Structure 1
Amino acid sequence: MTSANRDHDVNFDTASFPPLTNDLYLRTARGEPTERAPVWCMRQAGRYLPEFRAIRVENEFFKVCRSPALATEVTVQPIRRYTGLLDAAIIFSDILVIPQAMGLDVQMVPGKGPHLPEPLRSPDDLSRLTDKQSGYSVDRELDYVYKAITNTRHALNGEVPLLGFVGAPWTLMAYMVEGGGSKTFALAKSWLFKHPEASHELLSRIADVAAEFLVGQIRAGAQAVQVFESWAGELGPQDFATFSLPYLARIATRVKATYPDVPMTVFAKGAHYALEQLAKDTLYDVISLDWTIDPAVARSRVDAAVQGRRKVVLQGNLDPTVLFGDEQTIRERTREMCRAFGPASHIANLGHGMMPSHDPELLRVFLESVHEASSALRK
């Protein structure tokens, strides 16, 4: 693999990308039969890796996101460390680059996480957001992500496909209103009930930016994309159907209109009550599961919903805290997960992201276990 340690020029000639030598993830995401399940992990580039922490010592979080060379380096770090075990890379960025691009100040505070010092407290605050009428350009504001994607495609040298991503509208709205994370999401949810029209306006504007941003990421070289609705589980079924699902569907429809063959994944954490809706009412190729649902149950429900009209692949879903166990436990639980997904096409992953205190070598155990277990199931 080409090292990305040095700050080299970005090559924008996407036609010159190295040929892909491992397309297992892409074949699986399209519903094709494969010799084993591909595996990657959400937040696989991050604070659990000492090589990532070394870069962060001298570089603020969003500086890493905004520097194509640094973003490339941290994206390829896990691919380099786990040579031959990961089947996809995901560009190092953050879901909150969209609120930044829309005019809000977003800071990453050590020990606290994301902080928006001037959140949206009332519908009148929507006027503070930039839009196309005021000269706003998604591509211009987020060009640094496109450059990082193009750069990383070359640095990967075809070893694995590169994924892009965005945060989903409800999740981003929650951050933009709350000013950061929350235990209750009382401020964001009160918007939904007190100001439904303004809420839909905000969700609509975020969805439009997210869709355009994903199209730009694919144009820059992303070979598949994922939409993270991280706070889906904070909504009940009725509110999810009203304030999340339509915007998730809109994003997929708009991206597919331009790139119909690029696989798209949706991860609506905590909203397994909506599996049927996600399967039949959106165009996502892959539905990612958290660890609170049995994969066999999810498979049955999705199949019943689509009734053979299209293929929907499942992704997930080992509880990330299993990686705090010993090697034997990790191997056993990973085998159980693979058996639960069965022989149908699925993408192995965690049910959420890697945690800062995870041992990198125990992630290796998980990756090796997926290779062994899924290969054995398909013989």
Structure 2
Amino acid sequence: MFNDVFLKACRKEAVPYTPVWFMRQAGRYQAEYRAIRERYSFFEISHHPELCAQVTRLPVEKLGVDAAILFADIMTPLKARGIEVEIVEGVGPVLNQPIRSGADFAQWKQLDPARDLPFVLDTVELLHQQLNVPLIGFAGAPFTLASYLIEGGPSKNYHKTKAFMYTHPEDWAALMDDLADMTLNYLQAQIRAGAQAVQIFDSWVGALGEKDYQIYIAPTMAKIFTELKKTGAVSLYFAAGAGHLLNEWNKLPVDVLSIDWRTSADDLDRLQISKAIQGNLDPSLLLAPLPILKERAKTLLDQLSNRPGYIFNLGHGVFPEVSEENLRELTKFVHHYPKV
């Protein structure tokens, strides 16, 4: 029996209960994952399809969530193109040679997923056979990837990225085109291999104001989502702290907008957001006592669960200190909470 409740919600179809999955639902909070990480690095896991498939399946098997998300990193396609990037524990992606001009990326090789990332596609094909819930493929959005490439790693303010965008508009446009083509190519390959949905993580685009988003980002995202629409897979778009961009997002040909806890149901109504919505519990609540966690989940469900196309999720990802039992209990609570 295939559970397609998540896909139905993405398409704003009627569902018997509110579907739920959690961003970063595979990770260090799981004992099984920690045991695997003692033997393999993050990137080594993704290079072994059977192991990667196991890590991807774990949350479905242990938590009972309604979708699996491919275990990978947004830097995976960049590494496959020969760009030197490390994932530093507790820091994130770090690059030793940040971009300073168009010449720094003009000679990058183009991504051929079948040639450069066969292990990713093999993992997707395996999971397509093994899962009884939809598989979500994913990629990083051009702005978020560019921010790492220009800053050299995570940033608090993205000054260098914005300065590059303002100062070198032609180089910026070329970089957006390059990363858009790569992202689209990568996601289309995942869909052909069996992913029924794809999520684009634009984690840091909330650092931009609405006008800058309109000028520098929206055309790129419209191009990506327009092409993805032709595949038949559902598409989701996520960023943190980006509630001020919802009007722009609502114009995009994307199926689901994934919001964080800073955006309220009142905001969605006020802005007349018509898309399906995913979110938006504050992940910190996963450390709260279970009664408080359930009470806050109830409030969220009361506000959003009767909206056509609602998917329960976090406003950002699960972190290592979270209890697996709390996630399991939260999943059960959402599944059994009555839809009026």
Q: TM-score, normalised by structure 1?
A: 0.86
Q: What is the deviation of 1:279?
A: 1.5
TM-superposition CA deviations, 1:71-128 (whole Å, max 9, x none): 101001111112xx30000110111112213321111122332211222133321234
Q: What is the deviation of 1:300?
A: 4.6
- One-letter amino acid matched to 2:191: I
TM-superposition CA deviations, 1:107-161 (whole Å, max 9, x none): 1122332211222133321234223xxxx524321222111101112222xx211
Question: 2:244 is paired with a residue of what secondary structure?
Answer: helix
Contact 2:206 2:245 (C-alpha < 8 Å) held by counterparts: no
2:326 aligned with 1:354: no
Contact 2:18 2:305 (C-alpha < 8 Å) held by counterparts: no
The residue that corresponds to 1:332 in the other structure is 295
Q: What is the deviation of 1:299?
A: 4.2
Unaligned runs of 5+ in 1: 1-19, 307-311
The residue that corresponds to 1:237 in the other structure is 210
Contact 1:72 1:151 (C-alpha < 8 Å) held by counterparts: yes
The residue that corresponds to 2:281 in the other structure is 318
Give percent identity, aligned residues only. 38
The residue that corresponds to 1:367 in the other structure is 331
Identify which of 104, 124, 138 aligns with 2:83. 104
Cα distance in 1, alignment partners of residues 55 and 322 from structure 2: 17
TM-superposition CA deviations, 1:291-325 (whole Å, max 9, x none): 1011242145244xx5xxxxx21110000001110
Q: What is the deviation of 1:253?
A: 0.8
Cα distance in 2, alignment partners of residues 147 and 300 from structure 1: 44
The residue that corresponds to 1:68 in the other structure is 49
| Alignment map for 1:1-379 (pairs within 5 Å) | 21-82=2-63, 85-131=64-110, 136-156=111-131, 159-257=132-230, 259=231, 261-280=232-251, 282-303=252-273, 312-344=275-307, 345-373=309-337, 376-378=338-340
Q: What is the deviation of 1:162?
A: 0.7
Runs of 4+ with deviation above 4 angstroms: none
Cα distance in 2, alignment partners of residues 111 and 164 from structure 1: 24
State the aligned residue count.
339
Question: 1:127 is paired with a residue of what secondary structure?
Answer: coil
TM-superposition CA deviations, 1:25-48 (whole Å, max 9, x none): 011111101111100000001121
Question: 2:331 is paired with a residue of what secondary structure?
Answer: helix
- One-letter amino acid matched to 2:127: T
Contact 2:6 2:311 (C-alpha < 8 Å) held by counterparts: yes
Cα distance in 2, alignment partners of residues 50 and 185 from structure 1: 35
Cα distance in 1, alignment partners of residues 107 and 323 from structure 2: 43
Cα distance in 2, alignment partners of residues 317 and 193 from structure 1: 32
Contact 1:22 1:161 (C-alpha < 8 Å) held by counterparts: yes
RMSD: 1.5
Question: 1:349 is paired with a residue of what secondary structure?
Answer: strand
- One-letter amino acid matched to 1:104: I
Q: TM-score, normalised by structure 2?
A: 0.95
Q: What is the deviation of 1:239?
A: 1.3
Contact 1:101 1:141 (C-alpha < 8 Å) held by counterparts: yes
Pair 56,342 (structure 1): closer, same or farther in 2 beyond 3 Å = closer
